[in-house]
Amino acid sequence: MERDRIPEAVIRRLPKYYRYLSEQLRAGEERVSSSGMSRDMGLNASQIRRDLNCFGGFGQQGYGYNIEKLRGEIMRIMGIDARQRMVIIGAGNIGQALAGYGGFAREGFLAVGLFDTDSTVIGQRVSELVVRPVAELAAFLRRQPVQVGVICTPAAAAQETADRLVQGGVRGIWNFAPCDVQVKAGVAVENVHLNDSLFVLSYRLREDGSEG
């Protein structure tokens, strides 16, 4: 079945639906209406219905949504119903934190390698991983399929790292470096620019202050 391109804003809301439905499931709930979701999530009920209709529409008039089914469908759509393997490049503060964070593995994203160029950190153990030299990345990627490459290098090394990952067959780049990276078509990039996020917060602080 050919699907229309899903709008960016809808894609960005999918994880929020997933998070909400997971909480409801843990709380023992079985079904939820779009108006109930609207109240709890602070989204417009008709927007919720429109969003979920993008993926086929799972609601039933007068019944609402079966939480487990809807959650499973959203997991399938997001591709988190299967295990994915990640390598992390850059074993500085952020790289080590991501390697040690159990929250990704719980959602099926397994960090299988941690790499750096700095000989003082190579060989160190971080959580379940030992830091390897970046020079071994290509051989590592030949030995095992890796879906996601996490860039935690300084800005100056980010593009080269992206190139190495893509050359090694990685098609998903999660970029924490404070710069953008260019990749060929067919490779997905998701940026987490922490400074940008902090600046937006700073802007809002000033904005609210000037209103008061």
Binding site for a copy of itself (CB under 8 A): 6, 11-12, 14-16, 18-19, 77-80, 84, 93-94, 96-98, 100-101, 103-104, 107, 109, 147-148, 171-174, 178-179, 186-190, 192-209, 211-212
Shortest gap between Cβ of 62 and a copy of itself (angstroms)? 29
118 versus 196: smaller Cβ distance to a copy of itself: 196
CB of 61 to a copy of itself, least distance (A): 28
Minimum CB separation from a copy of itself for residue 166, in Å? 13
Backbone angles phi, psi at 113, to 5 degrees: -155, 145
Q: Is 62 left (phi over 0), alpha (psi -120 to 50) or beta?
A: left
Q: What is the CA radius of gyration of the chain?
A: 20
CB of 143 to a copy of itself, least distance (A): 20
Would you state the structure tokens that stand for residue 25, as one six-digit string?
A: 């499931």
* Burial readout 50-70 (b: 16 or more C-beta within 10 A, e: otherwise): ebbebbeeebeeeebbbbeeb
Which is closer to a copy of itself, CB of 59 or CB of 149? 149
Pairing relationship of beta strands 84-89 and 129-133 according to DSSP bridges: unpaired
Of 34 and 96, CB closest to a copy of itself: 96
Residue 64 is given by DSSP the state: B
- Comparison of 143 and 184: residue with beta carbon closer to a copy of itself: 184
